[in-house]
């Protein structure tokens, strides 16, 4: 095996390792990664989200688990010996390379103003920088000096505005100083910058454009920042975000040529003049030009991975288009945003009242789109960006006027790039559709389009529609509606039976897809439409899956498992003893579940009522483990016992579990509460997770374990308990109302147009005006809850259904047989009708 | 001449006790049989043994229709069987036995000969 050394483990270095390990199926390369930072590569683009959670783990990129990769953290490369083809690290480690890839990134540029190195001056690049800024802000809050605590950000670009947001989150009044005449000079023009400034100032950020920072002086425990027009700003913190410089020292010291403005000079295949040394990302100057964005860096990583495996990829050029939301303001720029092309014309629509600025740059004959800027409303971004270089399908003014209507996706030329993250064109999408990719997930799978920033997903939908692919939302052959539509129909028409629903809005007699879905909708709405009803009442009984029908979980041999509710995982010794006695008396296999409860396996249908009689008498109730419903709210031990806990996680978990128990949903719902940032309850793997902070609770939503693990995302932070509960109420009810059948919150959130921001708008800011309805629905649910198993035990008709054989009620099913395994009953596996004993573990357990 | 074969009918339950579109299991000469009453009132009897999971559970599946043919879906791995023929519509090479079924004086009976 040959050795490639990767100097630097940022996002681009990480992408190289992923690309190389993924493609190097013949195992030609071993990879040594030398990282300067103490943590593996993380999502630096999302650094500003760190101030919401202060959880660096939340930024983590997927870990590399591969025996070919050696990752050395906190041990950066300090010297290259090109003659011996060896690199040296700061700890004295030496490693010989066959190929060396420099991915050292860039360093923040700190202008050499007097006082730039005072304590209280920071840069904005790593979680450690943010920790230091936070500590400084907290120190400032504790001083008794007069006036508001404030922070000055030097640089009004993208990063500077993010830094201003961070300072605002920390309770400081932010001031932004920009040397250019307007904000974000790299991305937007003067008109867009002016509107952006209005928005930003409306949020309490003071902006000083066209000003240089001339000096920073210590001033009675604080600092004084002097600007070129004589303005003096009192401040507690200064953050420099005045651009970056490529980190090219290693290459310089090794005698490799640099670009005119710095950066390791490489050709279009990312190779330096030394054929064994490559450079990628922000430290590389491709034919002299450096790129400060991650997408071109990723493209370079892919080029080098290909080259190392004998390919001949070249850098395809970079699209520096960007679309982002800054302090809640949409900003986008694409193509030749500044109109630098010869004879370029600009068409501008500027409406400061509506908060909307749009500019298109077109060729001198006004027929070809060259670029543009959008501020305030960037919905047209996907289409317009894809049109760059193509003939305009309409008058440019009409394209950006608010009444101009949506552009037809079929107007896009074949070569237009739909997904710039993965350089996927209209043509490629078209071919994938022809080959059978008929849905957005299928297109993601086979073209990778939409798997980067995701901003092109709406465009993918339009392209599918333009190709005549109807995105069927029909639940099954009996209903042409989606689950969400059926939910609205049932809520509006107050239909309470399947027969009436299928007669009026469907066809046939239903199936195992639509019946449980309708049963779930009827159950979700029962508190409003038919209070006091039971899921096994009347016709509804025939709609239920076997689990709901017998209020237990069907196992592979036809027996059921029983899980009583143990809210928050807290249980008394007496109740534990009852569970043990019941399991022993009915011969049940027992196991602790992942949701902090106890599962009793192997119950025959006719045993269930007797088992539950004992459990209900002991104070247990249904745990709904059998239902598409709230399962558990797991908790850590919290402040009562834990030395580190900052909030009562157990108490909150119990109250949440009792509040939402019995709520029927499109799929199961799992939750957890952690009492501190150590997150012992693993709340971020749940549909909703709550993590305690010093002052309240952070709410995370849309997490998932299972087949496709996904970390829950921070919806809102530092909530008091009442607001937290109200927000979860709305989250759950909005999910119940709008998700597809068997869609967990994770994929629901991924497919929700507008994603997390939209969700927050709906359930926090009430943008759809439905919060009162959601609140009322949850109130009705909580008030109407009753234990389903108690309901069965009190109803002789329902009890009568719990028999193995209707004509021989006392006879157990002879096909169910058990063998003993590790001291407990387990199913005897059957083959060809005969029981087959699967050999047990041959390990002598006692010897371990 | 061989002895005549006489059909043997086993009583299952009263017809009125059957919930439409929900099966019951019955013991018929030692065999587990699933009995279904459709929405229209027709009766069907099939082996209760699900050939895919080998569990005795077909009576606990959801009854519905596929293209107008009355069906039951196995509650284990969800394969769909036609009630009238026992043929698995998801894999027509697989089928389950069907049994004659009748109502005498309001009582459902299944024939097992």
Task: Give the per-residue SS3 of A748-801.
Answer: HHHHCCCHHHHHHHHHCCCCCCCHHHHHHHHHHHHHHCCCHHHHHHCCHHHHCC
Contact in structure between A210 and A177 (CB atoms under 8 Å): no
Q: Answer yes or no: do A508 and B65 touch at CB < 8 A.
A: yes
Residues of B in Cβ contact (< 8 Å) with A815: 32, 49, 55-56
Please tell me the predicted confidence (pLDDT) of residue A405.
47
3-class state of residue A16 by DSSP: helix
Q: Which of B54, B79, B89 to mutate to test the interface with A (most CBs of A within 10 A)?
A: B54
Nearest CA-CA partner of A767 in A778, A781, A753, A777 = A753
Phi and psi at residue A236, to the nearest 5°: -105, -25
Residues of B in Cβ contact (< 8 Å) with A556: 53, 55, 76
Q: Answer yes or no: do B11 and A807 touch at CB < 8 A.
A: yes
Question: pLDDT category, A408, cuts 50, 70, 90?
Answer: low
* Number of domains observed in the structure of chain B: 1
| A292-308: pLDDT as tens digits | 888 899 999 999 999 99
Same fold, A2-107+246-308 and A121-240: yes
Q: Do the domain assignments include residue B69?
A: yes
Q: Collect all residues with Cβ–Cβ distance below 8 Å to A360 and sequence separation of at least 6.
A: A346, A347, A369, A371, A372, A384, A396, A399, A400
Choice among A281-290, A364-373, A590-599, A672-681 with the minimum mean pLDDT: A364-373
Of A508, A542, A804, which has the smallest distance from its Cβ to B20's Cβ?
A542
| A41-78: pLDDT as tens digits | 999 988 988 988 888 888 888 888 889 999 999 999 99
Contact in structure between A664 and A517 (CB atoms under 8 Å): no
Q: Answer yes or no: do A556 and B75 touch at CB < 8 A.
A: no
Q: Answer yes or no: do A554 and B20 touch at CB < 8 A.
A: no
Q: Do the domain assignments include residue B86?
A: yes
Q: Answer yes or no: do B12 and A806 touch at CB < 8 A.
A: yes
Which tokens sit at A752?
């929700």
| A567 has pLDDT over 90 | yes
Q: Nearest chain A Cα to B22, which residue?
A: A542
Contact in structure between A406 and A387 (CB atoms under 8 Å): no
Alpha carbon of A802: minimum distance to chain B alpha carbons (Å): 10
Choice among A698-712, B24-38, B60-74 with the minimum mean pLDDT: A698-712
- Among 3.10.20.30, 3.50.50.60, 3.20.20.120, 3.40.640.10, name the CATH number for the domain at A2-107+246-308: 3.50.50.60
Question: Which three-class secondary structure string do you get for A438-491?
Answer: CCHHHHHHHHCCCCCCCCCHHHHHHHHHHCCCCCCCCCECCECCCHHHHHHHHH
Q: Answer yes or no: do B56 and A807 touch at CB < 8 A.
A: no
Higher per-residue pLDDT: B60 or A390: B60
Q: Answer yes or no: do A546 and B10 touch at CB < 8 A.
A: no
Q: Answer yes or no: do A512 and B60 touch at CB < 8 A.
A: no
Q: Percent of chain A scored above 70 by pLDDT?
A: 95
Please tell me the predicted confidence (pLDDT) of residue A834.
46
Nearest CA-CA partner of A401 in A455, A458, A446, A359 = A359
Question: pLDDT category, B4, cuts 50, 70, 90?
Answer: low
Q: Do the domain assignments include residue B1?
A: no
CATH of the domain at B85: 2.102.10.10
Contact in structure between A35 and A71 (CB atoms under 8 Å): yes
Q: Which of A510, A546, A834 to mutate to test the interface with B (most CBs of B within 10 A)?
A: A546
Question: What DSSP state is assigned to residue A420?
Answer: T
Q: Answer yes or no: do A813 and B32 touch at CB < 8 A.
A: yes
Residues of A in Cβ contact (< 8 Å) with B53: 556, 558
* Interface list for A 812-831 with B (CB within 8 A): 813-816, 830-831
Q: Answer yes or no: do A557 and B55 touch at CB < 8 A.
A: yes
* Distance (Å, whole) CA A140 – CA A127: 20
Question: pLDDT category, A403, cuts 50, 70, 90?
Answer: low
Q: Nearest chain A Cα to B34, which residue?
A: A805
Please tell me the predicted confidence (pLDDT) of residue A413.
75
What is the domain extent for residue B55?
A: 21-111
Q: What is the CATH code for A628-789?
A: 3.30.413.10
* Distance (Å, whole) CA A331 – CA A158: 10
Choice among A141-150, A249-258, A741-750 with the minimum mean pLDDT: A141-150
Please tell me the predicted confidence (pLDDT) of residue A443.
86
Q: Do the domain assignments include residue B107?
A: yes
The class that CATH gives domain A408-471 is mainly alpha
Alpha carbon of A801: minimum distance to chain B alpha carbons (Å): 8
* Distance (Å, whole) CA A40 – CA A61: 8
Of A510, A558, A831, which has the smallest distance from its Cβ to B57's Cβ?
A558
| A401 has pLDDT over 80 | no
Please tell me the predicted confidence (pLDDT) of residue A837.
43
| A647-699: pLDDT as tens digits | 999 999 999 999 999 999 999 999 999 999 999 999 999 999 999 998 899 99
* Distance (Å, whole) CA A348 – CA A546: 62
* Distance (Å, whole) CA A568 – CA A653: 5
Q: Nearest chain A Cα to B11, which residue?
A: A807
The CATH fold of domain A121-240: FAD/NAD(P)-binding domain (3.50.50)
Give the Cα-Cα-Cα angle A290, A453, A39 (nearest 5 degrees). 70
Domain boundaries, chain A: 2-107+246-308, 121-240, 321-407, 408-471, 483-544, 628-789
Question: pLDDT category, A840, cuts 50, 70, 90?
Answer: very low
Question: pLDDT category, B3, cuts 50, 70, 90?
Answer: low
* Distance (Å, whole) CA A82 – CA A496: 78
* Interface list for A 542-601 with B (CB within 8 A): 542-543, 545-546, 549-550, 554, 556-558
Alpha carbon of B2: minimum distance to chain A alpha carbons (Å): 31
Contact in structure between A117 and A293 (CB atoms under 8 Å): no
Please tell me the predicted confidence (pLDDT) of residue A73.
93
Q: Nearest chain A Cα to B80, which residue?
A: A512
Q: Which of A514, A799, A807 to mutate to test the interface with B (most CBs of B within 10 A)?
A: A807
Between β-strands A86-89 and A237-240, what pairing exists: parallel, antiparallel or unpaired? unpaired
Q: What ipTM, to 2 d.p.?
A: 0.94
Size of interface A-B (CB pairs under 8 A): 100
Q: Do the domain assignments include residue B44?
A: yes
Q: Collect all residues with Cβ–Cβ distance below 8 Å to A339 and sequence separation of at least 6.
A: A189, A345, A346, A361, A370, A371
Q: Nearest chain A Cα to B62, which residue?
A: A512
| A143 has pLDDT over 90 | no
CA A733 from chain center: how many Å?
20
Which tokens sit at B76?
């284990």
* Distance (Å, whole) CA A20 – CA A31: 9
Helix (H) or strand (E) holding A504: helix A498-505
Q: Answer yes or no: do A509 and B38 touch at CB < 8 A.
A: yes
Please tell me the predicted confidence (pLDDT) of residue A543.
96
Residues of A in Cβ contact (< 8 Å) with B26: 805-808
Please tell me the predicted confidence (pLDDT) of residue A842.
38
Alpha carbon of B4: minimum distance to chain A alpha carbons (Å): 28
Alpha carbon of A541: minimum distance to chain B alpha carbons (Å): 8
Backbone φ/ψ region at A81: left (φ over 0), alpha (ψ -120 to 50), beta: beta
Architecture of the domain made up of A321-407: 2-Layer Sandwich (3.30)
| A453 has pLDDT over 70 | no
| A200-226: pLDDT as tens digits | 998 889 999 999 999 999 988 899 999
Diameter of chain A measured on Cα atoms = 97
Q: Do the domain assignments include residue B13?
A: no
Backbone φ/ψ region at A237: left (φ over 0), alpha (ψ -120 to 50), beta: beta
Q: Nearest chain B Cα to A812, which residue?
A: B27
| A94 has pLDDT over 50 | yes
Given CB atoms, is A501 within the 8 Å cutoff of chain B? no
Q: Answer yes or no: do A556 and B22 touch at CB < 8 A.
A: no
Q: What is the mean pLDDT of residues B9-33?
A: 94
Contact in structure between A152 and A235 (CB atoms under 8 Å): yes
Nearest CA-CA partner of A715 in A690, A738, A695, A734 = A690
Alpha carbon of B1: minimum distance to chain A alpha carbons (Å): 35
Residues of A in Cβ contact (< 8 Å) with B27: 805, 807-808, 811
Q: Which residues of B touch A (CB under 8 A)?
A: 10-13, 17, 19-22, 24-27, 30, 32, 35, 38-39, 49, 53-57, 60-68, 70-71, 73, 75-76, 78, 80
Q: Answer yes or no: do B22 and A477 touch at CB < 8 A.
A: no
Please tell me the predicted confidence (pLDDT) of residue A833.
45
Residues of A in Cβ contact (< 8 Å) with B35: 806
Nearest CA-CA partner of A690 in A704, A669, A705, A673 = A673
Nearest CA-CA partner of B61 in A112, A119, A547 = A547
Choice among A142-146, A424-428, A731-735 with the minimum mean pLDDT: A142-146
| A752-808: pLDDT as tens digits | 888 898 999 999 999 899 999 999 999 999 999 999 999 999 999 999 999 999 999
Alpha carbon of B84: minimum distance to chain A alpha carbons (Å): 15
Q: Do the domain assignments include residue B29?
A: yes
Q: Do the domain assignments include residue B15?
A: no
Q: Answer yes or no: do A805 and B27 touch at CB < 8 A.
A: yes
| A106 has pLDDT over 90 | yes
Given CB atoms, is A661 within the 8 Å cutoff of chain B? no
B41 beta partners: none
Of B19, B38, B56, which has the smallest distance from its Cβ to A815's Cβ?
B56
């Amino acid at each position: 095996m040959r050795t490639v050394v990767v100097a630097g483990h940022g996002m681009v270095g990480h992408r190289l390792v992923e690309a190389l390990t993924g493609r190097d199926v013949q195992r030609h390369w071993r990879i040594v990664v030398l990282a300067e930072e103490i943590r593996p590569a993380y999502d630096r683009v999302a650094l500003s989200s760190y101030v919401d959670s202060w959880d660096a783990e939340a930024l983590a990129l997927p870990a590399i688990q591969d025996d070919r990769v050696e990752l050395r953290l906190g041990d950066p490369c300090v010297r290259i010996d090109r003659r011996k083809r060896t690199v040296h690290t700061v700890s004295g480690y030496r490693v010989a390379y066959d190929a060396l890839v420099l991915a050292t990134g860039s360093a923040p540029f700190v202008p050499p103003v007097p006082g730039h190195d005072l304590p209280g001056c920071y840069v904005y690049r790593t979680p450690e920088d943010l920790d230091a800024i936070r500590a400084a802000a907290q120190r400032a809050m504790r001083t008794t000096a007069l006036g508001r605590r404030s922070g000055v950000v030097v640089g009004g670009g993208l990063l500077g505005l993010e830094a201003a947001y961070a300072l605002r989150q920390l309770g400081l009044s932010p001031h932004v100083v920009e040397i250019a005449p307007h904000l974000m000079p790299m991305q937007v023009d003067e008109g867009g910058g002016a509107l952006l400034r209005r928005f930003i100032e409306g949020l309490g950020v003071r902006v000083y454009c066209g000003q240089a920072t001339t000096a920073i002086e210590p001033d009675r425990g604080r600092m004084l920042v002097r600007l070129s027009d004589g303005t003096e700003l009192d401040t507690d913190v200064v953050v420099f975000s005045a651009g970056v410089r490529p980190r090219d020292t290693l290459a310089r010291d090794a005698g490799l040529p640099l670009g005119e403005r710095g950066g390791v000079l490489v050709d279009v295949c990312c190779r330096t003049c030394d054929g064994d040394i490559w450079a990628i990302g922000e430290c590389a100057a491709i034919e002299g030009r450096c790129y400060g964005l991650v997408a071109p860096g990723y493209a370079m990583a892919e080029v080098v991975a290909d080259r190392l495996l004998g390919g001949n990829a070249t850098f395809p050029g970079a699209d520096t288009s960007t679309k982002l939301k800054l302090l809640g303001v949409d900003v986008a720029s694409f193509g030749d945003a500044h109109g630098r092309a010869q004879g370029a014309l600009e068409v501008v629509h500027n409406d400061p009242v509506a908060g909307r600025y749009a500019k298109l740059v077109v060729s001198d004959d006004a027929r070809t789109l060259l670029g543009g800027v959008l501020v305030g409303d960037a919905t047209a971004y996907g289409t317009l960006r894809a049109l760059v270089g193509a003939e305009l399908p309409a008058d440019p003014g009409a394209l950006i006027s608010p009444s101009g209507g949506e552009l037809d996706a079929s107007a896009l030329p074949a070569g237009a790039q739909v997904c710039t993250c993965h350089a996927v064109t209209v043509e490629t999408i078209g071919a994938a559709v022809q080959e059978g990719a008929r849905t957005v997930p299928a297109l993601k799978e086979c073209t990778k389009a939409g798997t980067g920033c995701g901003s092109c997903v709406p465009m993918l939908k339009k392209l599918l529609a333009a190709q005549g692919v109807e995105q069927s939302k029909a639940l099954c052959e009996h209903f042409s509606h989606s689950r969400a539509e059926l939910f609205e129909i049932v809520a509006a028409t107050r239909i309470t039976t399947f027969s009436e629903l299928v007669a009026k809005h469907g066809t046939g007699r239903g199936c195992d897809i639509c019946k449980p879905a309708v049963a779930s909708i009827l159950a979700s709405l029962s508190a409003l439409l038919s209070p006091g009803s039971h899921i096994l009442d009347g016709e509804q009984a025939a709609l239920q899956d076997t689990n709901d029908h017998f209020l237990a979980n069907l196992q592979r041999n036809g027996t059921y498992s029983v899980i009583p509710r143990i809210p928050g995982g807290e249980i008394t010794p007496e109740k534990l003893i009852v569970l043990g006695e019941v399991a022993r008396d009915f011969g049940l296999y027992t196991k602790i579940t992942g949701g902090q409860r106890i599962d009793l396996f192997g119950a025959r249908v006719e045993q269930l009522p007797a088992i539950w009689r004992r459990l209900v008498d002991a104070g247990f109730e249904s745990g709904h483990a059998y239902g598409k419903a709230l399962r558990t709210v797991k908790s850590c031990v919290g402040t009562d016992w834990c030395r580190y806990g900052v909030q009562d996680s157990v108490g909150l978990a119990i109250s949440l579990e009792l509040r939402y128990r019995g709520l029927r949903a499109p799929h199961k719902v799992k939750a957890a509460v952690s009492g501190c940032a150590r997150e012992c309850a693993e709340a971020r793997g749940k549909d909703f997770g709550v993590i305690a902070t010093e002052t309240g609770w952070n709410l995370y939503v849309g997490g998932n374990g299972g087949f496709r693990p996904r970390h829950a995302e921070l919806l809102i932070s530092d909530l008091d308990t009442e607001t937290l509960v109200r927000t979860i109420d709305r989250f759950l009810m909005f999910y119940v109302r709008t998700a597809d059948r068997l869609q967990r919150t994770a994929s629901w959130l991924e497919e929700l147009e507008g994603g997390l921001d939209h969700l927050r708008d709906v359930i926090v800011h009430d943008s759809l005006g439905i919060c009162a309805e959601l609140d009322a629905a949850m109130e009705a649910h909580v008030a109407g809850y009753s234990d389903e198993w108690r309901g069965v035990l009190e109803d002789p008709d329902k009890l009568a259904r719990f028999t193995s054989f209707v004509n021989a009620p006392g006879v157990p099913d002879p096909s169910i047989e058990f063998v003993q395994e590790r001291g407990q009953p387990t199913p005897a596996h059957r083959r060809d009708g005969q029981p087959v004993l699967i050999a047990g573990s041959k390990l002598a357990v006692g010897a371990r | 001449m061989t002895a005549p074969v006489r059909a043997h009918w086993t009583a299952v339950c009263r017809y009125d006790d059957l919930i439409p579109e929900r099966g019951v299991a019955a013991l018929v000469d030692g065999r587990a049989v699933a009995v279904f009453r459709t929405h229209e009132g027709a009766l069907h009897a099939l082996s209760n043994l699900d050939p895919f999971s080998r569990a005795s559970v077909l009576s606990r599946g959801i009854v519905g229709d596929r293209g107008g043919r009355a069906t039951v879906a196995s509650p284990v791995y969800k394969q769909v069987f036609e009630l009238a023929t026992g043929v698995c519509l998801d894999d027509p090479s697989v089928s389950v036995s069907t049994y004659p079924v009748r109502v005498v004086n309001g009582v459902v009976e299944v024939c097992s000969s």
